[in-house]
Structure 1
Amino acid sequence: MGIKFDVFDARDLLAFPGGDNDTDTVFGGVHFNTTTLHHWNYTYYSNRTLSNDSECWLTFPPYEPQLLLTNGSFVNATSCYNSVNPIGSRGYTGIGFSVFFGLGLVLTVTVLAKHGALYLPKERRFYPIGRRWQWYWACFVCACALVSLFTNVDVDRYYLQELPIIVSIFFWFLTCLGTVALTWEAVRHWGSWLERQYVDPNPFIYSNGDRRSQVEFWTPLWFYFWLWMNFFLVVPRSWNFASYQRSPEQTAQYAIPTATGARFKAAAFCLFVAWLTIVFSLRHSIKHYKPRNRGIFNRAVGFIRAVPLRLVLIIPLSLALIAYQAFISFVWEFSIIRFDGVVPVIFAWGFGPSLLILYIQIAYGYASPNEDKELLRQRRERGGMINRELGFIKKPAWWRRVRGDHLGTLRDKIGSNVNEVGGERGVGRRVEDEMERHAREDAARNALEDDGGIELSCIHHADASANPRVDRAGAKAVPTSLPYAGRNERRHTERVVQTAASVLFPSDIETQRAQRAAFLMEIGPPPPPPYTDEQRHEPDVGRPATAQRTNSTSTTRSVNVEPQQVRSMLDI
């Protein structure tokens, strides 16, 4: 009967068909010796197979054995585990679904290449693999579904169920697990994408140690805990019960009790907890990264509007798939484990949600842009908005070519910038225009012509040379304000203004300076005479003129000498 090893049911046993005598039996018109059959422990079963728990042979035409040897082996016999039946509705439907899953696998790989590409530097807060996980799980779902669907062909063709039904059911449960994981990664990454857009204008709007970040850290661990609980309840077990459907009695004794056992019920419950985690993650993302509404009704409406259409479709579909796994753990009649089950229910409810979720994801992948490119577009829009608020108009692309800015290398541009530095203003200051120069000259002229046109600087200088100041002790004071003999008009104007201020508003500062100078002359040799600005520019003997240091802010020399030859950025 094809029941191997420890599986045996007395209700499946039948007596050998009668032959010419007591030691003769007939299978398909061929006579066999019953003594030899009993000697090698062959038993005839109700499914018209002959087996001794190690070998199983078909006994109906045209697959009946032609000869039985004394060593217990048959000649021209057909094993019970051969594909002798034609392909049924389950096999044809599985081939049709496998075509769509195969096409989905190809499209998923292309979408993965599109959304997995990087156009911005990597960030520790948003790893590139985070956006790729949903496509990795989609490839996993396609691969498992293809294996499960193709093996349905042999489920129909095998006369007695063996390995094909086991492989088909095993990979279907993995397909369910992968579909729920695909839904989770789609929802989780949608929230991560919202967060990335939310913090891109201001990276410090949220701290890394708040309650929000803690929830986002522990929620994936919680989800995958229940997902792997489903895996460990379903996968690590003996799957031979799926093949024990070789007779009605064997199905009722072995297959049905195991398929509707507590482990499959608990596995479906674990998937349901994982689905509730998906809904919680969706609500968490909307709460923190979408506009908030007041009132119960407004919050409900805002929640519905905030959820994208893709998630509105795939979340109920994943729940439908979980519901089917829970349903078949109670009802055997519509179970996918049953080899002759109801085909429309098996494929529409068992494989349909996974296929729809897969193609919804593919449509989203082709319709939506790469996230890095979208982020760059949003940054350009924000930059344009800020420029409009500031009144800055960005020049078009042809502007540089009209002005000739595209000509020359970077070294030439640096050299031209260095050659333009000069004039009467100090290096690093803004160049004085004509209007500012006229205003400065008028101010200096008005300062000199005050008090009836008397030039205060000339009076001060003459008085200082004819009658040096004398301090209270009777010692001659060293003049602290010397006449300016340089060519810098700005400094000359400043000296004139200072002299005029000292005459109009006398103070004891000059007296204190004179006393301090007299005290220093009494305790030591007199200090060397102060140098004028022109003397400061005189080079030392033995040193080149370009090597002299000066504190002057005048750039007159920089105009007269040859332009500096720039060799690198370090020379500037």
Structure 2
Amino acid sequence: MSPPGTLYTDYNQTVLDLFDYVIYPGNGTVSNVSNCYLSFGSYHPEIYADGTVENNVSCDSPYYGIASRGGIGIAFGALSILMLPFSMNNLHRLGKMHVKREHKRFRLISRRWQWYWVFVIHALSAVAGFLSIDIDRDYIQGTSLTSYGAVFTSIFPCCLGAVWEMTRHWGSFEERQSYEDDPYGFRDDKLRTNYFLLAPIFVYLFGFLFFLLTVLRNWTNVIRVNSDFIVDSRWKVGIFLGVVCFILIITHVFVIRHYWHPKRLPWRIPLCFLGVAVMLSYSIALSFDGSLSPFNPSSSVVAVSVWGYIPVLYLLFVMNITANFQKNDDKVILEQRAVREQERMRVALETVVVHDDDDAGEPTVLDEEKTLDGSSPLAYSATYDFDGKPRPSQKRTYTNAEIKAFARANAKRSNNTDEPS
């Protein structure tokens, strides 16, 4: 890269040697191990005998205008911000508690963790998008590229976390529905208990190692645009651990289906799996091809956009759209409780026996054709009087308390009948 202006070399060589400054005619900079300044055209840094520098402009200063990478980065960051209110609304709607108290096995925080991870993805996407602006503008890559690399790479482990929490909560809700239906139907199963205890530990362990090896690293090597960085063993091991984490999440789906027998698999889960699979495939590909790497300033902008940005936006979009078709867990549980209560009342009323009064000769039976919705009152009729003559049916509306009392009385009578005489 040749300097876009006339190279400035009017320096005191003794001062340069004293502070280890070197003039690089190839790119028009003067630098030592710690500092780098532009030295061409109108950029004339003054280096004094005591080491101070005036009129200095850092080598990683934004010299050029915004280009295609910066424009797409702005769009990426803006779209992630625009979807943030939808995620906040879904957290409020799906994470709100509608029961009097939460069960210790099914905490309220369980359904919220997915959206907490989504908020982190929103923030990282916005920061990465706007950091990419200076990758185009910087004369020589510096802190903008290193910061962008660390932030952008952090998005992938967070996506794994969001998808895991979404999948795990789906299984937890299926367990909760089974528990509500029959709380005594759970047999002691050490294998099941140990799996659901250890599964999140292993998922987060491999996810953290993925983050540790790919994000928490020396990003100053990126400045050199060295292909050795792209294919180094540390990055490859990190991606491998990310793939293991993803496999554990997929395995969790089959375990849920084995234990809780859900009627169907929600569409949001395979759709989100597709987005994560694309992200991991891109991470593997850029390990071997530097032209695809988002950390290479001269890489293909189309590749970075299609394989790097779009899957993240796709994941946010799918989670928010599918959430609009979800009901709050508590509301679903309350509806199921109401249905079970009506079914129990219906079964009880089919067998309840009611006497007209203490002196009645023949028992009267609740009319089974009537309903409990109030449109038609429950009725009983005594078919014959004491003389054996038919008499007109008598009708009466029963309250819920009376109906429950009838059910308890009938259950007590049935128990007494079953006892040996």
Normalized against structure 1, the TM-score is what? Answer: 0.58
Determine the structure 1 residue equivalent to 2:70: 91
Kept in 2: contact 1:108–1:362 (CA 8 A) = yes
Q: State the distance in 2 between where 1:273 and 1:55 align.
A: 42
* Deviating more after overlay: 135-144 vs 376-385: 376-385
Deviations 1:82-123 (A, max 9, x none): 112111211111110111111222221221111111111210
Kept in 2: contact 1:226–1:273 (CA 8 A) = yes
Determine the structure 2 residue equivalent to 1:557: none
One-letter identity of the residue aligned with 1:107: F
Deviations 1:349-375 (A, max 9, x none): 112212111111111222211110111
Determine the structure 2 residue equivalent to 1:370: 328
2:280 is aligned with 1:322: yes
Q: State the distance in 1 between where 2:47 and 2:151 align.
A: 40
Question: What SS class does the counterpart of residue 57 from structure 1 fall into?
Answer: strand
Q: State the distance in 2 between where 1:218 and 1:276 align.
A: 15
2:136 is aligned with 1:178: no
Determine the structure 2 residue equivalent to 1:394: 372
Q: How does 1:247-286 map to 2 (within 5 A)?
A: 251=225, 255-286=226-257
1:170 is displaced (CA, Å) by: 0.7
One-letter identity of the residue aligned with 1:394: L
* Match of residue 76, structure 1, among 55, 58, 82: 55
Q: How does 1:165-564 map to 2 (within 5 A)?
A: 165-244=145-224, 251=225, 255-290=226-261, 306-389=264-347, 390=349, 391=368, 393-394=371-372, 396=374
Question: What SS class does the counterpart of residue 367 from structure 1 fall into?
Answer: coil
2:59 is aligned with 1:100: no
Tell me: CA distance 1:83–1:203, structure 2 relative to 1, closer, same or farther (3 Å). Answer: same
One-letter identity of the residue aligned with 1:287: H
1:377 is displaced (CA, Å) by: 1.2
Q: State the distance in 1 between where 2:52 and 2:182 align.
A: 81
Determine the structure 2 residue equivalent to 1:49: 29
Question: What SS class does the counterpart of residue 333 from structure 1 fall into?
Answer: helix
Q: State the distance in 1 between where 2:375 and 2:118 align.
A: 43
Tell me: CA distance 1:57–1:397, structure 2 relative to 1, closer, same or farther (3 Å). Answer: farther
Q: State the distance in 1 between where 2:264 and 2:306 align.
A: 30
One-letter identity of the residue aligned with 1:257: D
- The percentage of aligned residue pairs carrying the same residue is 27
Question: What SS class does the counterpart of residue 151 from structure 1 fall into?
Answer: helix
1:71 is displaced (CA, Å) by: 5.4
2:95 is aligned with 1:116: yes
One-letter identity of the residue aligned with 1:198: S
1:40 is displaced (CA, Å) by: 4.8
1:39 is displaced (CA, Å) by: 5.3
Kept in 1: contact 2:206–2:242 (CA 8 A) = yes
1:63 is displaced (CA, Å) by: 2.7
Kept in 2: contact 1:233–1:267 (CA 8 A) = yes
Q: State the distance in 2 between where 1:211 and 1:30 align.
A: 74
Tell me: CA distance 1:74–1:125, structure 2 relative to 1, closer, same or farther (3 Å). Answer: closer
Deviations 1:344-401 (A, max 9, x none): 11122112212111111111222211110111112222223344443473254999xx
Q: State the distance in 1 between where 2:69 and 2:32 align.
A: 31
Tell me: CA distance 1:385–1:262, structure 2 relative to 1, closer, same or farther (3 Å). Answer: same
Question: What SS class does the counterpart of residue 216 from structure 2 fall into?
Answer: coil
* Deviating more after overlay: 54-63 vs 148-157: 54-63
Deviations 1:121-175 (A, max 9, x none): 2101111111111111111111122221211112221111111111111112211
1:273 is displaced (CA, Å) by: 0.7
* Match of residue 61, structure 1, among 18, 38, 41: 41
One-letter identity of the residue aligned with 1:339: P
| Residue ranges of structure 1 left out of the alignment (5+ in a row) | 1-11, 15-25, 245-250, 292-304, 400-434, 439-572
One-letter identity of the residue aligned with 2:58: S
Q: State the distance in 2 between where 1:271 and 1:29 align.
A: 49
1:42 is displaced (CA, Å) by: 3.0
Q: State the distance in 1 between where 2:237 and 2:70 align.
A: 30
* Deviating more after overlay: 135-144 vs 37-46: 37-46
Kept in 2: contact 1:264–1:326 (CA 8 A) = no
Normalized against structure 2, the TM-score is what? Answer: 0.77
For the aligned residue pairs, the C-alpha RMSD in angstroms reads 2.8
Tell me: CA distance 1:68–1:380, structure 2 relative to 1, closer, same or farther (3 Å). Answer: closer
Tell me: CA distance 1:208–1:221, structure 2 relative to 1, closer, same or farther (3 Å). Answer: farther
Question: What SS class does the counterpart of residue 374 from structure 1 fall into?
Answer: helix
Deviations 1:444-473 (A, max 9, x none): xxxxxxxxxxxxxxxxxxxxxxxxxxxxxx
Q: State the distance in 2 between where 1:99 and 1:211 align.
A: 47
1:232 is displaced (CA, Å) by: 2.3
One-letter identity of the residue aligned with 2:22: T
2:123 is aligned with 1:147: no
Question: What SS class does the counterpart of residue 290 from structure 2 fall into?
Answer: coil
Q: State the distance in 1 between where 2:34 and 2:179 align.
A: 68
One-letter identity of the residue aligned with 2:371: I
One-letter identity of the residue aligned with 1:104: M
Deviations 1:319-355 (A, max 9, x none): 1111111222222221111122111111221122121
One-letter identity of the residue aligned with 2:66: I
Question: What SS class does the counterpart of residue 200 from structure 1 fall into?
Answer: helix
Kept in 2: contact 1:387–1:393 (CA 8 A) = no
Kept in 1: contact 2:132–2:144 (CA 8 A) = yes
Q: State the distance in 2 between where 1:130 and 1:102 align.
A: 25
Question: What SS class does the counterpart of residue 280 from structure 2 fall into?
Answer: helix
Tell me: CA distance 1:219–1:28, structure 2 relative to 1, closer, same or farther (3 Å). Answer: closer
Tell me: CA distance 1:237–1:68, structure 2 relative to 1, closer, same or farther (3 Å). Answer: closer
- Report which of the two structures shows the higher radius of gyration computed on alpha carbons: 1
Q: State the distance in 1 between where 2:9 and 2:237 align.
A: 52
1:32 is displaced (CA, Å) by: 4.8
Q: State the distance in 2 between where 1:72 and 1:289 align.
A: 71
